[in-house]
A = this chain, B = another copy of it.
Amino acid sequence: MTKEVLTDNMGRPYIPWEMIGNFMVDAFKAYGVPEEDAKICADVLMESDRRGIESHGCNRFKPIYLDRIDNGTLLPETKIDILKETPTTVVMDANNGMGMVASYKMMEMLIEKAKTYGMAGGAITNSTHYGIAGYWTTMAEKAGMIGITGTNARPSVAPTFGVEPMMGTNPMTFTMPTDEDFPYNFDCATSIVQNGKIEYYERMGKETPAGLVVTKDGGTMTDSGKILKDMRKGDCALLSIGGLGEATGGYKGYGFTTIVEILSAALAGGPFMKALSGKDEEGNNRMYRLGHFFFVINPEFFMGLDTFKKTTGDILRGLRASEKAPGEDRIYTAGEKEWDAWCERKDKGVPVNESVQNDLKTIRDRFGLDYTFPFE
C-alpha cells in the first residue's frame, strides 16, 4: 500500500503545522532552550512559513539556530538584563541568547506601555537573529497598534560610491492595522536583495539583474555563481534599494540602510558594522552581538483605531483598484502575498524541500525524538 503524501506544486511534501511546531519545540528543548522560549522561537519560524517567507522559516531552523547553539555563538538560555526602563522605553541586553525570546519580551513590554502612554520604544543589544522582523510588528498590530522595527546584521552592503561590505541588509519594517482580513505588512531588507535571492538565481541557472551588487571596480555583475563566490571573499557587496550610484536613487536606499544601522546600535550603545561579522580577526567564530530597535504607536492616542483602520484600508483598496500596466492583472499591497500564502497553506502545512527534510531527520535522529514525518 502506497502512502499518499500531499505535495505543493513544486512536488514538496507538506508537514502539518502542528507536527512541525511540536517538533521544533522538542528539538529546541533538546538543545537546551527552555520550553516557554522554545514555543516562542518555533512560532516565529512557523509564522515565516505561514507567510510563505521560506528564507526565514523552518529551513533556517538548523543552520541559523541549532548549528549556532552547537558552535557556541548562540546561547540556548536567554538571560535578559533590563539596562534601562522608563514609562515609554526599554533597553535590553540579550546576553547572546535567543534574539526571538528577547524581542518577544520587548514587544510585550512596549505594547503594555503604548496602551498607557500611546507611544513606546525599545532597543536590544548583544542579540542574535530575531527571525522575520514582521513578527514583532505584527504583535503590535494584533494589539491594535502600529509596529515598527529594524535590525542590523553582518556587513554585506556597500555605501553609495563605495565597494566594501559595511552594513547589514538591515530591514526596516512597518505593520499597520487595517479594516481588512490582514494588515498592511511591509517587511523587507533595505538592500535590493539578500544573499538568498542570489542563491535562488544561481539554482535556477539565472543571471542576477544588473545593479544589485557592486564589484571592486565600482561596476556591477550579473553572473550569479561568481557573485556568490566573490561575496564570500568580500570582493563584491550588495547594494541598497535604488542601486548603483546616485542617478536612480541609490543614495536614498543607502540612507535607509544607514538609519537602520544607527537606530539598531546607537539607542542601546551597542556594536555595529564590521563588529557584527560573527568572526574575530583570526577568522574564528564569535558572538554576533546584533542590535534591534522597536517602536509601537497606539492610534487610540490619535484619532482612534477605527479611523486609522478605515483610512488605511481605503488607501490600500484604492491602490489595488488603480490602472494596471498592460499584462499585469493585479496590483499588490505589502502583506497581501503573505496573506495569499497563508490561505493556500493553512489547511496543509509547510512544504519542505529535500534539504530541510534531511535537516529534520538529522535532528530527530540525534536526539531520538519520536516523530515520523509524512515524507518518510
Q: Which of B241, B268, B315 contacts A241 (CB 8 A)?
A: B241
B326 pairs with A218, CB closer than 8 A:
yes
B-side contacts of A117, CB under 8 Å: 87-88, 117, 119
Partner of A302 from B121, B322, B324 at Cβ < 8 Å: B121
B303–A333 touching, CB < 8 Å: no
Residue of B nearest to A333 (CB): B258
A241: chain B residues within 8 A (beta carbon): 241-242, 249, 252-253
Complex alpha-carbon distance, A322 and B190, angstroms: 19
Contact B315 A217 (CB under 8 A): no
Kindly provide the distance from the CB of A155 to the nearest chain B CB, expressed in whole angstroms.
10
| Complex interface residues of chain A between 281 and 300 (CB less than 8 A to chain B) | 295, 297, 299
Which of A212, A266, A267, A312 has most B Cβ within 10 Å? A266
Q: Which of B146, B266, B272 contacts A307 (CB 8 A)?
A: B266
A88 contact from B88, B262, B330, Cβ within 8 A = B88
Interface residues in A312-340 by Cβ distance below 8 A to B read 312, 314-316, 318-319, 322-328, 330-334
Which residues A209-241 have CB closer than 8 A to chain B?
209, 211-212, 214, 216-218, 241
Question: Does the CB pair A303–B119 fall under 8 Å?
Answer: no
| A243 at interface by CB-CB < 8 Å | yes
Residues of chain B within 8 A of A159, CB atoms compared: 319, 322, 331, 333
Shortest CB distance A159–B (Å): 5
A268: chain B residues within 8 A (beta carbon): 302-303
Proximity bits, A115-136, B CB within 8 Å = 1, else 0: 0011111010000000000000
In the complex, are the beta carbons of A161 and B325 less than 8 A apart? Answer: yes
In the complex the two chains form, is A258's CB within 8 Å of B297's CB? Answer: no
Which residue in chain B gives the minimum CB-CB distance to A244?
Answer: B325
**Interface size bracket, A side:** 35 or more
Cβ-defined contact, A188 with B324, below 8 A: no
**Of A84, A248, A268, which is in contact with the most chain B CB atoms at under 10 Å from its CB?**
A248
Contact B251 A243 (CB under 8 A): no
Question: Which of A71-79, A162-170, A355-363 forms part of the interface with chain B?
Answer: A162-170
Identify A209's interface contact among B248, B262, B309, B325, CB under 8 A. Answer: B248
Contact assessment for B218 and A315 in the assembled complex, using a CB-CB cutoff below 8 Å: no
Question: In the bound complex, how far is the Cα of B294 from the Cα of A308, in angstroms?
Answer: 16
A241, A315, A332: residue with the most chain B Cβ atoms closer than 10 Å: A241
- The distance in angstroms between the C-alpha atoms of A211 and B83, with both chains bound, is 47
Taking the nearest CB of chain B, how far is it from the CB of A158, in angstroms?
Answer: 7
A34 at the interface (CB under 8 A from B): no
Q: Which of A192, A322, A327, A328 has the most CB of B within 10 A?
A: A322
**A319 and B217 contact, CB distance less than 8 A:** no
Is A195 part of the binding interface, using a Cβ–Cβ cutoff of 8 Å? no
Other A-B pairs, 10, CB within 8 Å; known A121-B301, A212-B248, A269-B311: A89-B302, A163-B325, A174-B259, A176-B262, A186-B258, A241-B253, A249-B253, A266-B309, A266-B312, A272-B315
The 5 closest A-B CB pairs, nearest first, are A218-B325, A266-B311, A119-B119, A164-B323, A161-B328
A-B contacts, 19 of them at CB < 8 A, read: A83-B303, A86-B301, A159-B333, A160-B331, A161-B324, A186-B256, A192-B249, A217-B325, A218-B327, A218-B328, A241-B249, A256-B256, A258-B333, A262-B315, A265-B311, A265-B315, A267-B299, A267-B308, A273-B319
